[in-house]
């Protein structure tokens, strides 16, 4: 059995003043995360105030775009096409919700290495998704 | 200050409807209030405190207090999804203990079945919710987010689909005796794991029902409770907490029940081994397994083994749970199951559960709720109650 990924219409994320740089970078094919200048910890999703130490000194960092699947689920009866929702733990240590794409969804495993790809959204900026390496 | 023995649950009511296209949500709230007042033997003029959550229309207490024409000095609109009502009970007990209220009504009602709302539809709270832009594009729905927690639990602890299925099997054994339950057929482990795969690893029968309806509870100070004609059910302990994504440093194998449960048990001065009946939030089978671990009924990772072989079936296993059939079989009004968890626990303590599922001499019960999404942000609340 195989469930080959199919493109679907992706709801456009609504950019806000706080996350605009993230979506500007996505349009360039870059995945941005934030790092705290006070405690050096990365966090996701990006915020003005560090959620680890509450410093207001945070900076944008281009993530390597590499990670591993922390968990996932192939939703088979939610949309007309099956899709895989997941949390991917990035090389920088933070985990983010995403979709796993461009592969056989039935072959996915927790711990699998993945890399970022960007998929177009419906009238908005591209969205960071991941595909097996 | 402790809440132990400071307030009692004196009225309960579960709406019998499971589909109510011809009633308004406000009407359903008022109907469950009416039912709980009749159960308690009180008048609506006796109420001086009121709580409801986001299932209520408008600004919640403002709309409903106007609609029911209540006169209150305590009000609460805490909204942590399906666990809200247990928190309302805790806050009501606090108000009663501090003299800010004497008799507090809590209501829940909704019509997701009539309105086509379920756990397979994204919940878009708008771009002002900071998580929404980072989750909505991935088509995160309640179903697949609970499925991700289940997947990780299986990976870390070896939990199996068959163990998940035992939760549904137990609920179905109870629901067969509930004439109001949506699903009354007893199911087997094989039937659960062979039902359609919704979102790996959750099958259709791992999911709760979608129902219209509602419920209400009324709390009062102990001297009022003793003057009424029902068994006196005392609140011994309560706790609440919220767990979220920790800035991206995640662990999806446990819930905020770890904290709410510890608080409630400490206040009550009892242990999980003392509990004779437990209402455990059952949006999905995995929800039950993780909460049982987090509440201390078994070690972390051993929830699957704990629920297997009928251990949750009344009269069969060690921990009778959700003897009304729970959200998995009975109802899940407003897609929020916390209220019915309280109600069935009180029925058990009163000896008013169906005779086929009544726990003999049930003196100590727990009700636990989880609201929101177990693999992102959710609120947990725990109540421990005792028959006086």
Residues of B whose CB is below 8 A from A70: 152, 250, 252
**Per-residue pLDDT, B69:** 98
CA–CA dist B318, B316 (Å, integer):
7
Distance from CA of A112 to the nearest CA of B (A): 13
**Per-residue pLDDT, B1:** 85
**Per-residue pLDDT, B305:** 98
Distance from CA of B379 to the nearest CA of A (A): 19
Establish how many alpha carbons lie within 13 A of residue B229's alpha carbon, considering only the half-sphere containing its beta carbon: 5
The two structure tokens encoding residue B254: 């446990």
The two structure tokens encoding residue B253: 């194998």
pTM over 0.95: yes
* Contact by Cβ (8 Å): A15, A125: yes
**Per-residue pLDDT, A2:** 94
**Per-residue pLDDT, B118:** 87
Are residues A70 and B152, on separate chains, in Cβ contact within 8 Å? yes
Are residues B155 and A71, on separate chains, in Cβ contact within 8 Å? yes
**Per-residue pLDDT, B127:** 81
Residues of A whose CB is below 8 A from B148: 71-73, 85-87
**Per-residue pLDDT, B125:** 87
Are residues A87 and B127, on separate chains, in Cβ contact within 8 Å? no
Residues of B whose CB is below 8 A from A33: 248
B169-202 exposure pattern, b = at least 16 Cβ within 10 A, e = fewer: bbbbbbbbbbebbbbeeebebebbbebebbbbbb
* Other beta carbons within 10 Å of A100: 23
CA–CA dist B313, B169 (Å, integer):
9
Cβ neighbourhood burial of B80 (10 Å; 0-12, 13-18, 19+): buried
- Choose among B134, B150, B200: nearest Cβ to A45: B134
Mean of all residue pLDDT scores within chain A: 97
When scoring A8, A46, A71 by the number of chain B Cβ atoms within 10 A, the one with the most, hence best to mutate, is A71
User: Quick check: A72 pLDDT over 80?
Assistant: yes
**For the CA atoms of chain A, what is the radius of gyration?**
15
pLDDT tens string for chain B (388 positions)?
A: 899 999 999 999 999 999 999 999 999 999 999 999 999 999 999 999 999 999 999 999 999 999 999 999 999 999 999 999 999 999 999 999 999 999 999 999 999 999 998 889 888 888 889 999 999 999 999 999 999 999 999 999 999 999 999 999 999 999 999 999 999 999 999 999 999 999 999 999 999 999 999 999 999 999 999 999 999 999 999 999 999 999 999 999 999 999 999 999 999 999 999 999 999 999 999 999 999 999 999 999 999 999 999 999 999 999 999 999 999 999 999 999 999 999 999 999 999 999 999 999 999 999 999 999 999 999 999 999 999 9
* Contact by Cβ (8 Å): B304, B164: yes
Are residues A97 and B135, on separate chains, in Cβ contact within 8 Å? yes
Residues of A whose CB is below 8 A from B147: 73, 75
Cβ neighbourhood burial of B127 (10 Å; 0-12, 13-18, 19+): middle
Q: Least CA distance to A69: which residue of chain B?
A: B152
Q: Which residues contact B116 (CB under 8 A, 6 or more apart)?
A: none
Are residues A97 and B376, on separate chains, in Cβ contact within 8 Å? yes
């Amino acid at each position: 059995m195989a469930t080959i990924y199919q493109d679907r219409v992706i709801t456009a994320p609504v950019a806000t003043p706080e996350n605009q740089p993230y979506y500007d970078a996505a349009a360039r094919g870059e995945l941005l995360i934030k790092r705290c200048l006070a405690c050096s910890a990365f966090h996701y999703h990006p915020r003005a105030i560090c959620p680890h130490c509450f410093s207001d000194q945070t900076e944008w960092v281009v993530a390597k775009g590499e990670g591993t699947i922390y968990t996932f689920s192939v939703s088979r009866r939610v949309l007309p096409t099956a899709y895989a929702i997941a949390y991917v733990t990035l090389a920088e240590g933070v985990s983010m919700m995403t979709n796993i794409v461009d592969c056989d969804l039935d072959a996915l495993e927790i711990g699998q290495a993945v890399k970022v790809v960007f998929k177009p959204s419906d009238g908005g900026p591209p969205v960071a998704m991941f595909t097996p390496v | 200050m402790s809440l132990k023995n400071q307030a009692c649950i004196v009225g309960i009511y579960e709406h019998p409807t499971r589909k109510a296209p011809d009633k308004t949500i406000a009407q359903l709230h008022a109907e469950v209030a009416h039912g709980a007042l009749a159960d308690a033997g009180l008048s609506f003029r006796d109420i001086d405190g009121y709580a409801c959550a986001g299932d209520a229309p408008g600004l919640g207490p403002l709309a409903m207090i106007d609609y029911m024409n209540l006169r209150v000095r305590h009000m609460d609109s805490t909204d942590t999804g399906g666990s809200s009502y247990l928190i309302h009970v805790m806050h009501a007990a606090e108000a009663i203990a501090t003299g800010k209220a004497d008799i507090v009504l809590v209501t829940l009602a909704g019509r997701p079945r009539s309105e086509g709302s379920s756990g397979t539809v994204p919940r878009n709270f708008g771009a002002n919710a900071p998580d929404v832009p980072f989750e909505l594009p991935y088509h995160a729905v309640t179903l697949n987010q609970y499925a991700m927690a289940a997947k990780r639990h299986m990976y870390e602890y070896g939990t199996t689909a068959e163990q998940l299925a035992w939760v549904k099997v137990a609920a179905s054994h109870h629901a067969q005796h509930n004439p109001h339950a949506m699903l009354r057929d007893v199911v087997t482990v094989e039937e659960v794991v062979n039902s359609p795969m919704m979102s790996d690893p959750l099958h259709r029968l791992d999911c709760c029902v979608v129902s219209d309806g509602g419920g209400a509870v009324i709390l009062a100070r102990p001297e009022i409770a003793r003057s009424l004609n029902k068994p006196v059910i005392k609140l011994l302990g309560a706790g609440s907490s919220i767990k979220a994504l920790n800035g991206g440093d995640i662990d999806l194998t446990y819930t905020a029940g770890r904290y709410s449960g510890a608080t409630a048990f400490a206040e009550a001065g009892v242990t999980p081994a003392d509990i004779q009946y437990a209402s455990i939030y059952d949006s999905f089978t995995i929800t039950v397994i993780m909460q049982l671990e987090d509440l201390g009924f078994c070690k972390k990772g051993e929830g699957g083994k704990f629920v297997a072989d009928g251990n949750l079936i009344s009269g069969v296993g060690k921990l009778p749970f959700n003897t009304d059939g729970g959200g998995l079989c009975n109802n899940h009004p407003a897609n929020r199951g916390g209220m019915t968890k309280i109600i069935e626990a009180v029925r058990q303590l009163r000896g008013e559960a169906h005779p086929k599922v009544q726990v003999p001499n049930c003196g100590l019960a727990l009700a636990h709720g989880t609201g929101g999404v177990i693999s992102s942000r959710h609120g947990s609340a725990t109540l421990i109650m005792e028959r006086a």
